[in-house]
Amino acid sequence: FSDPASNLGLEDIIRKALMGNLEERQD
């Protein structure tokens, strides 16, 4: 069970929650 976060769907939630901020940085 090397990547529990991905198995939980956590990565998706994290990426979406971070995205707005990261897009802001790229602008």
Partner 1 sequence: NRMHLVCPMNTSPHVDPQKSGHEVWEEFSHSFTPAVREVVEFAKKIPGFRDLSQHDQVSLLKAGTFEVLVVRFASLFDVKDRTVTFLGGKKYSIDTLRAMGAGDLLNSMFDFSEKLMNLGLSEEEMSLFTAVVLVSADRSGIENVNSVEALQETLIRALRSLITKNHPNESAIFTKLLLKLPDLRSLNNMHSEQLLAFKVH
Name the minimum Å distance from CB 19 to partner 1: 9
Name the minimum Å distance from CB 27 to partner 1: 13
Of 10, 8, 2, 7, nearest to 18 by C-alpha is: 10
Does residue 27 touch partner 1 according to CB under 8 A? Answer: no
- State the binding string over 5-24 for partner 1 (x if CB under 8 A, else -): xxxxxxx-xxx-xx--xx--
Amino acid at position 10, single letter: L
Alpha carbon distances (Å) from 6 to 19, 20, 22, 26: 17, 20, 20, 25
Binding residues (CB under 8 A) for partner 1: these are 1, 3-11, 13-15, 17-18, 21-22, 25
